Amino acid sequence: MQISSHKSKHTLIVKLEGELDHHTADTVRERLDSILEDPSIKHMVFDLSQLKFMDSSGVGVFIGRYKVVSQRGGTVSVVHVTPQIHKVLEVSGLYRIIKKYSSFEEALAGIGGCDE
C-alpha cells in the first residue's frame, strides 16, 4: 500500500495505491491520523484510481477519518472510484457520509463554498 498526499488550502488530497485491507489498514490509519494533527485540514479528498482492493477494514479507515473532519465542519470525498471499489462503498453505505465526484476539479468545487 502506498499513500501520497498534499494539502491545498484546507483540503488534504490523498492518493491510495494498492490494497486497503486488514494487513494495511493500521498503517494507513496511523499515517492519515498523523497528517490530520494539522488542525487547519478541514476536508479530505481521496483519489482511489489506483486502489485495487478494499475490505471492511478499509471501510473503517474512511469512517474514522470522516469523524475527525466532520467534527471540524468538513467533508470527505472520493474521486476516480473504480467499479470494484464503488461496489464496496455502495454496499457499505459509505456514500451516505462520503461524496463521490468524477474529478478533483468537481470535488474541490463541491467543497469550495465552505473551504475558506
- pLDDT confidence of residue 110: 87
Round the average pLDDT of the chain to a whole number and report it.
93
Average pLDDT of span 14-20: 97
User: What superfamily in CATH does domain 2-25+42-112 come from?
Assistant: STAS domain (3.30.750.24)
Cβ-count burial of 35 within 10 angstroms (0-12 exposed, 13-18 middle, 19+ buried)? middle
User: Residue for cell digits 476536508?
Assistant: 43
Contact (Cβ atoms closer than 8 angstroms) between residue 75 and residue 69: yes
SS3 assignment, position 52: strand
- Report pLDDT digits (tens) over 52-83: 999 999 999 999 999 999 999 999 999 999 99
Domain ranges within the chain, ordered by starting residue: 2-25+42-112
